Amino acid sequence: MMYWYILMVAVLGLVTFLFIKVSRPAGPCLRVLMYHKVSGNGERDFLTVTADQLSHQWKYLKREGYSPILFSDLVKFVRMGTPLPPRPILLTFDDGYKDNFEVMYPILQHLEMKANIFLVPSYLQQQRTASDGTYLDLADIKKMNPSLVEYGLHSYDHKSYKKLSPAEVSEDIRKTGDWLRAEGVPFQPCLAFPYGAYPKKNPLKHKTFIETLNLSGMVLAFRIGNRLNAMPLKKPLLVQRLDIRGDDSFEDFVKLVKKGKAVF
């Protein structure tokens, strides 16, 4: 009985090892990191990293030879095959929080990094009438050096695309782009799905969703997934991102950046 138990454990371990090996790209790959907030007072949670954490993480990326890129670099790679630098990494921030300018941006300048922010117009409009300083205002956006920070779309008011019809998704993308253009905010044809959600279980809905993104002019779209992306990108409208959480340790960060997470 013990013999069969040991054999079963060994076989399960081998299957797990092989699954992990297969699920992670063996060759060149793109890492996309997903951040939200950065605190300057030491507070952290699943959406918020501290300034010290961010600085420590980015210094590690520099030591390891990762090359931060902008949305436009990846768009040129997908459209025209323009080469990317060695070990490309895309640093993204969702929602457009005020601390992206007040806390993240000085760190970025000091460490000579590059970042990309996914904007939600309804949040930017909210900031016009609010005094709490939760989200970026247009002046913040325009103060950030466009050679260091670029912007993408994160829906108009953060509704889940999984719950919208293809026509509603198309209208949401159009409305988001129109608002940003009207306010003089430059952006790339890059979209992050709110909550990382999109129709994936129903094959027909999934196919129609991808077609909608194409027809809406999106070159790149981002989910979560927590995997590394094999290069060249096979699915540029379903790029996976690594979820960087403030309540994870630095060791967790290193492990995630190196290998991503295997899904069982």
CA 75 – CA 82 distance, rounded (Å): 9
Decide: 31 and 90 in contact? Cβ < 8 Å.
Answer: yes
Give residue-wise pLDDT tens across range 37-65.
999 999 999 999 999 999 999 999 999 99
With a cut of 50, which residues of the chain have pLDDT below it?
5, 7, 9-23, 263-264
Rounded to the nearest integer, the mean pLDDT of the chain is 91
Say whether domain 28-259 belongs to CATH 3.40.50.12140.
no
Distance (Å) of CA 96 to CA 31, 41, 92, 128, 245: 21, 19, 10, 14, 17
Q: Compute the half-sphere exposure of residue 28: CA atoms within 13 Å on the CB side of its CA.
A: 12
Give residue-wise pLDDT tens across range 136-174.
999 999 999 999 999 999 999 999 999 999 999 999 999
Residue 18's pLDDT is 40
Q: Which two tokens stand for residue 144?
A: 């950030």
Give the domain ranges of the chain. Answer: 28-259
Residue 127's pLDDT is 80
Q: What is the pTM of this model?
A: 0.89
Residue 126's pLDDT is 87
C-alpha dihedral sign at 70, 86, 89, 21? positive
| Amino acid (1-letter code) at residue 211 | E
